[in-house]
Amino acid sequence: MSIHKRDDILSSEITDENIYLGRREFFCKAAKLGFIVPGLKFGTAEAAGFLNLFSPIKPSALPDDKLTSFQNITHYNNFYEFGTSKSDPAKYAGMLKTSPWEVKVEGLVRYPRTYSIDDLFKTYPQEDRIYRLRCVEAWSMVIPWRGFSLAHLLKKADPLGNARFVEFWTLHDPQQMPGQNIPVLEWPYREGLRLDEAMHPLTILATGLYGKSLPNQDGAPVRLVIPWKYGFKSIKSIVKIRLIDHMPRTSWELAAPNEYGFYSNVNPSVNHPRWSQATERRIGEWDLRKTLLFNGYANEVASLYTGMNLRKNF
């Protein structure tokens, strides 16, 4: 798979959204009808992975999950480093310089390392995954991400025996990120996961969407995506990943601990103090739909929280 850095992409190389969707539909139908795709023997693990790539949602497929348009994904964003309005990131994130870029992996690991963004592309092969994204403000999207499992990077770093949590840091540069001049949050933005959550195969570091490099307003050049948690947990423009032995304080938990807990799992029975979480509105649609526990990924991740009180540990 050919991967381009952001400044390498020519307009002629960008896949049109309709073509992207058409290819996906074609390969799904071809597979179901038993057509032969050169180089693939259906029924093998490789073929299964190929089908997953072009399926509407894998795993936990829903029959009415349609991809959110590229326009909506890139023009309706929460990225407070560029402003508090949903339209601010698209307006102001263009000033962010994403190359060169470095990501430090440090803390309780045997092999700490500083990656350039090019190193990340070369070391960890990118793949396409389609995940639902659920925001705490009761809106949602379905996004075709490009990236790689965070577990690959963490395994290479080799966590020490006392590592229990993973902490993430966003770039702190008020000149490039004007929203950081306003004390809406305690900057730089910080997020955290338990180590087992970070190592789960659904947890990815995303570097693109719709087959293109990640736009600045969506967290370029690399961001976290955890599909069973609320979207604010998906920290953007990451510069540091640190393994530690204690639960880190996260930015939204520091700002409003009565509203935002550490775990931030999608749970329709736990309302935000200012609105219900029982329903959501998919961006691009008018009708409300019921919110699914763990955002519909319960089969894959519920076992991570066996015995926990999910109302207390929100």
pLDDT of residue 20: 57
- Of 300, 59, 258, 142, nearest to 51 by C-alpha is 59
Please provide residue 134's backbone torsions phi and psi, each rounded to the nearest 5 degrees. Answer: -115, 125
293-313 pLDDT, tens per residue? 999 999 999 999 999 999 899
Q: Where are the domains of the chain?
A: 58-305
Query: Once rounded to an integer, what is the mean pLDDT over residues 46-74?
Result: 61
What's the CA gap between 144 and 244, in Å, rounded? 31
Q: What is the mean pLDDT of residues 153-169?
A: 98
DSSP state of 81: G
Backbone angles phi, psi at 216, to 5 degrees: -55, -45
Q: Average pLDDT for residues 37-47, to the nearest whole number?
A: 34
Q: How confident is the model at residue 23 (pLDDT cuts 50, 70, 90)?
A: low
- Range from 21-25, 117-121, 200-204, 233-237 carrying the lowest mean pLDDT: 21-25
Mean pLDDT of 194-218: 97
The residues pairing with 265 across neighbouring beta strands, listed in sequence order, are 229
Lowest pLDDT segment from 39-48, 113-122, 134-143: 39-48
When pLDDT is cut at 50, 70 and 90, the band that residue 65 belongs to is confident
Longest dimension (CA), the chain: 57
Q: Considering the chain, what percentage of its residues have pLDDT values greater than 70? A: 80
Looking at residue 22, what is its pLDDT?
Answer: 57
DSSP string, 83-150: -SSTTHHHHHGGG---SS-EEEEEESBSS-EEEEHHHHHHHS--EEEEEEEE-TTSEEEEEEEEEEEH
Lowest mean pLDDT among 3-17, 137-151, 172-186, 244-258: 3-17
CA nearest neighbour of 145 among 161, 133, 159, 156: 133
- Residue 156 and residue 87: Cα distance in Å, rounded? 38
How confident is residue 27, by pLDDT bands cut at 50, 70 and 90?
Answer: very low
Min mean pLDDT across 20-34, 99-113, 288-302 is at 20-34
Q: How many CB atoms lie within 10 A of CB 244?
A: 17
Its CATH class, for the domain covering 58-305, is: alpha beta
